[in-house]
Structure 1
Amino acid sequence: MIYTGLTGWGDHYDLYTNGVRGTDKLGTYSSFFPTVEVDSTYYAVQSETVWEKWIRDTPDNFRFVVKAYAGMTGQLMEKPPFPDELTMFEAFRTSLNPLIESGKLAMILCQFPPWFDCTKEHVMKLRNVREMLSDVPVAIEFRHQSWYSDQFREQTLAFLHEHDYIHSVCDEPQAGEGSIPIVPVATHKEKTLVRLHGRNKAGWRKETAGADWRKVRYLYDYNQKEIQEWLTRVEELHETSTDVYVIWNNNSGGHAAGNARTFLDMAGITYEGLAPKQLSLFEEER
């Protein structure tokens, strides 16, 4: 199956009617898409109670791509609120128990930072992560070009395959070492992740975008030719991976939802079992 969704569900205002209250947004979102990437887990380990609510708010066939806590991928600026790394991983993994038991966990996404380059130390880090998350599906996303250099590309893909890692295939601006090329290769026979960040080269790095860097980094509207190119890649990935998750992250200007729906239209994909569409403010309930 090809799952299509967005990063988060709170800010996609074009999906919501005037009758939607804040607490209804996930339910409304799940009437359009069968999957979502949860980014709040990057900033804090969520409680099981929170997960239980999100599970109730979505239909049975809905799937969550859960972004790993920042401390797990070495991106926490302050000292982690855990005594050691093992405790941190165990807390994160335990918090996902309701999601795992419900069958709604698609994967954990470990997105490593631009300074996480291809070195022996970092390869060992990847081995340790897999050991600590051995019983759940895990996707790896790199943001340093060295992993896909001529010297290491095939070794990187072979390593991901050997350790049962899901490959995160990315589309992003080509802006030096802190960005990666498009490498449409599946390393896991059951799942592949595609993340579309846009191609705003000027906004990708703080050095070029300035103080508003985070507001404009994902400012990009894919045209139909670009969406068609990605549809072709996704269909090819689907030939070697049972499920492909396509996540649109180009939402600085609110383009993600529209691009995702265009992708579905071009692919001729419709989903069964989505949540019922929310009633508008003035629609009579039947």
Structure 2
Amino acid sequence: MNIQCGTAGWTDKTLIACKRFYPRGCSTAEARLRFYASQFPLVEVDSAYYAMPSESNAQLWAERTPDGFTFNFKSFRLFTGHQTSPDVLPKDIVMALGSSPSTTRKKNLYYRDLPVEIRDELWRRYLEALEPLRRTQHLGAVLFQFAPWITRAPEDLAHVDECAARMTGYTVAVEFRNQSWLDEHHAPSTLAFLRERQLVHVIVDAPPDVTNRVHTVWEATNPQLAMVRLHGRNTASWNPGAGASAADRFNYDYSDAELGELAGSIRGIATRAAKTHVIFNNCFEDQGQRNALSMMGMLGASPHAPGDARP
């Protein structure tokens, strides 16, 4: 089975600070990525959620990783309905927004606030940033993790449709956060919606006893790719409050028993798609990396696809 495991990022501050994953002397951006790519075949670029990615960085990442190594990209937060500070937008975009009545003096912006021409330009730049990885066959899926307030309301369905249309020609994975998408009444129609558009349904593992998470549904909606994202099961830290980091929220170390249970489900879903991506998002210190390596051992997965060159 073609199952690839990796983590959500490789430069988290707590990961570097713990000094357990990267070997001594591995202290530059290039060295860290090269080492990471020697351990895993897959990584998720989570920084693309917080700020617009750059073409120059993508070019460097393509050059520093072996053939067969895959980058999944998170969509920029503005596209997924999240509040976005103007401070993270390109300066020329901010200047252009200064003359728009709908955006002037707002602390946070939403997608609906932007003039159409600004939206078009942001999408153009986002796709431009992906091109070096796409051209070198390093690009996997682009993940749209929609905000918790994106529901099955008609205007939200239309927004998901727009994102899919903007990404025509790319592999697009969708992770919903609102329970309405995959509850017992709506799961069949949501999965049908994804299948019709060849969007990848993201299977989520998260604390089972919290309400602000999507239901876990082990289904594949794209024959080419299935995706599982593991957020940990830390109920106490799931809603950490304002100012908390992702490491605070997803601080969880999966036990071998939990990983073994998940491995069985992953093997099952892997029979329904050509490839399966397993991303550990429990990004506190080296927990994600350790758990991903353990999962690879359980699944018999290799850090390299057959025939790939090592860095």
Instruction: Give the TM-score of the pair, scaled to structure 1.
Output: 0.90
User: In 2, Cα distance between the equivalents of 1:235 and 1:175?
Assistant: 25
Q: 1:27 corresponds to which residue?
A: 34
Separation (CA, whole Å) in 1 of partners of 2:309 and 2:244:
36
Change (3 A) 1:31 1:211: same
Which residue in the other structure is 2:124 paired with? 90
Structure 1 range deviating more: 250-259 or 183-192: 250-259
Root-mean-square deviation (Å): 1.8
Q: What SS class does the counterpart of residue 66 from structure 1 fall into? A: strand
Are the structure 2 counterparts of residues 110 and 212 from structure 1 closer, same or farther at C-alpha, using a change threshold of 3 Å?
Answer: closer
Q: Which runs of 5+ in 2 are unaligned?
A: 94-116
2:72–2:143: 8 Å Cα contact kept in structure 1? yes
Q: Secondary structure at the match of 1:110?
A: strand
Matched, 1:52 2:62: no
1:78-157 aligned within 5 A: 78-79=85-86, 81=90, 82=93, 83-157=117-191
Name the amino acid aligned to 2:26.
V
Q: Matches of 2:50 and 2:246 in 1, distance apart?
A: 15
For 1:118 and 1:264, how far apart are their aligned partners in 2? Answer: 36
For the 8 Å contact 2:203–2:218, the answer to whether it is kept is yes
Are the equivalent residues in 2 in contact too, given 1:220–1:253 (CA < 8 A)? no
**Counterpart residue number, 2:238:** 204
Asked if residue 231 in structure 1 is aligned to residue 263 in structure 2, the reply is yes
Alignment check: 8 A CA contact 2:234 2:251 kept: yes
In percent, how many aligned pairs have the same letter? Answer: 31
- Identify the residue that residue 109 of structure 2 maps to in structure 1: none
- Counterpart of 1:6? 7
Match of 2:74 in 1: 67
Tell me the distance in 2 between the aligned counterparts of 1:270 and 1:51.
24
Whole-angstrom CA distance in 2 between matches of 1:8 and 1:263:
17
| Amino acid in the other structure paired with 1:269 | A
Q: State the 1:216 CA deviation.
A: 2.1
Give the distance between the partners of 1:40 and 1:214, measured in 2 at CA: 11
Q: 1:56 to 1:167 in 2, by over 3 A?
A: same
Letter of the structure 2 residue corresponding to residue 56 of structure 1: E
2:71 is paired with a residue whose SS is: strand
TM-score, with structure 2 as normaliser: 0.83
Give the number of aligned pairs: 274
1:275 matches 2:310: yes
SS in 1 for 2:237: helix
CA contact (8 A) 1:27 1:275 kept: no
Query: 2: CA distance between counterparts of 1:245 and 1:120?
Result: 30
- Partners of 2:210 and 2:235 within 8 A in 1: no
- Please tell me the residue identity of whatever aligns with 1:30: A
